[in-house]
Amino acid sequence: MQEIRMSFQLVLFGLSNQMVVAFKEENTVAFKHLFLKGYMDRTDDTYAVYTQTDVYDQIFFAINQYLQLPNISVGNHAYEKREAEETALAVCQQFYKRGTICPGNDTFDIDPEIVTDCLYIEPMTPLDNRTVGKHNLNFTLDFHRLVAVQLMFNLKAINLQTVRHHELPDCYDFTLTILFDNKAHSGRIKISLDNDIEIRECKDWHVSGSIQKNTHYMMIFDAFVILTCLTSLILCTRSVVKGIQLQREFVSFFLCYYKKEVSFSAQMEFVNGWYILIIVSDVLTIVGSTLKMEIQAKSLTSYDVCSILLGTSTMLVWLGVIRYLGFFQKYNLLILTLRAALPNVMRFCCCAAMIYLGYCFCGWIVLGPYHVKFRSLNTVSECLFSLINGDDMFATFAKMQQKSYLVWLFSRIYLYSFISLFIYMVLSLFIALITDTYETIKHYQQDGFPETELQRFISQCKDLPNSGRYRLEEESSVSLFCCCNKLLGIHKKKLD
């Protein structure tokens, strides 16, 4: 039942979070079409200008669109207000402090210190056919020294679509930055728009209807989930603590009477890993549900943190369902194989990771300037992992630029050696490790598992539960083990 409750809670929050993410993405696309002249979808990587006139046109186009925003935007966008005044748009240019560049003579004299100069434009009520241009503003660019131009401004909006889903709307602050990047001085100035979004609680709101009642029902359901998880957390924590206490007494008993150290694997038999999984899941659920209640009450807006906590907790809860399948022999085979193979798999992965990292760094340094999939360590790792799984192989080979024959030849050796090494050797050995463990566990299920040290110790106890030799809950904890006095007597007879 707990799995169903948590899944239902996660689905409801996931639908709400989808609306938030969709609103953010759609606003970002809308801003690109509003403030970037001639912008087309999916052209972010190639959107650039190449002439001085185009640079000025783009800058003043964005400024005029900002000043006319209330009249042209189809959304509920508005200027940010601080006290009673609307915030200004900042046009900042960054350039080298001093520089004389003569490429024709192969000479230059430059001071690399970056200087920033900003111009602020207040929002105003636009008049008919009135636009801002170079003749209105004292704004010029020295393209020889220019490093970047930034247009920065703030806008606000309200996400009203949540009302239709019986949720209270959120207020959004958009901090937009339009960057004209000329760091390379290559004759191509790249243009990008960055939208930093912050969700805030609306200051004054009123919604007619049953939204408030639905919100209260959801908060009651979340409180019930928290109470259930808290009960589970207390019970599982108590079981783990009791197991650790029993483990310590077992270790002390063996060390005192048998003069023998207990192996780590025998000690871990007292700790139930499923209980630890449930404890982690319960903690994440309690914290995530508390955040969800605060979000529904519009006291917090941490949608991403809440979704990560609830998503992870639900995943762990459903993983915990596997422990019930362990009561069936055929299903238990999978669980036992995973548990037995894990140590060897982890050691194998550590060794393979060294080879993998070596290929990552090599590909990033050598192939990065010539291949789009090797431009950063992150993309290199994603590309190589895809190659291991046999994905996108031809495209990786085909997209390699042939501007340098030496690098192109090296790329072939690099890719062929990586694919051969990891697919035919590393991956095969990885599968062989798990297969070998599977066959061993299957053989044990047929012929019986070898007895552990703890099982041999417990098997010496032949007393029935009603023999009176077991410690009651209210008695002092002289020993937590059945027949310890009997076993001690046997041990002394052997010494005599």
pLDDT of 131 reads 63
Q: Is the dihedral of CA 248, 249, 250, 252 positive or negative?
A: positive
pLDDT of 133 reads 60
- Is residue 262 a contact partner of residue 270, using CB atoms and an 8 Å limit? no
pLDDT of 286 reads 93
Pairwise CA distance, residues 67 & 155, whole Å: 12
Q: Is the dihedral of CA 211, 214, 218, 224 positive or negative?
A: positive
DSSP state string for 217-255: HHHHHHHHHHHHHHHHHHHHHHHHHHHHHHHHHHHHHII
pLDDT of 377 reads 92
pLDDT of 1 reads 64
pTM above 0.75, yes or no: no
Name the helix (H) or strand (E) containing 86.
Answer: strand 85-86
- Is residue 320 a contact partner of residue 277, using CB atoms and an 8 Å limit? yes
pLDDT of 346 reads 92
User: Helix 405-421 and helix 377-388: axis angle, to 10°?
Assistant: 50
CA 140 to chain centre: 43
Q: What does pLDDT average to in each consecutive run of 10 residues of the chain (496 residues)?
A: 72 81 91 92 84 92 91 89 84 89 82 90 62 67 91 91 76 93 91 90 69 71 89 92 88 81 79 89 92 81 86 88 77 80 90 94 92 92 92 87 87 93 92 90 76 70 65 49 50 49
pLDDT of 173 reads 92
Give phi and psi for 62, each to the nearest 5: -65, -40
Name the helix (H) or strand (E) containing 101.
Answer: strand 89-102
Pairing of strands 85-86, 189-200: unpaired
pLDDT of 401 reads 81
pLDDT of 129 reads 47
**243, two tokens:** 């197991």
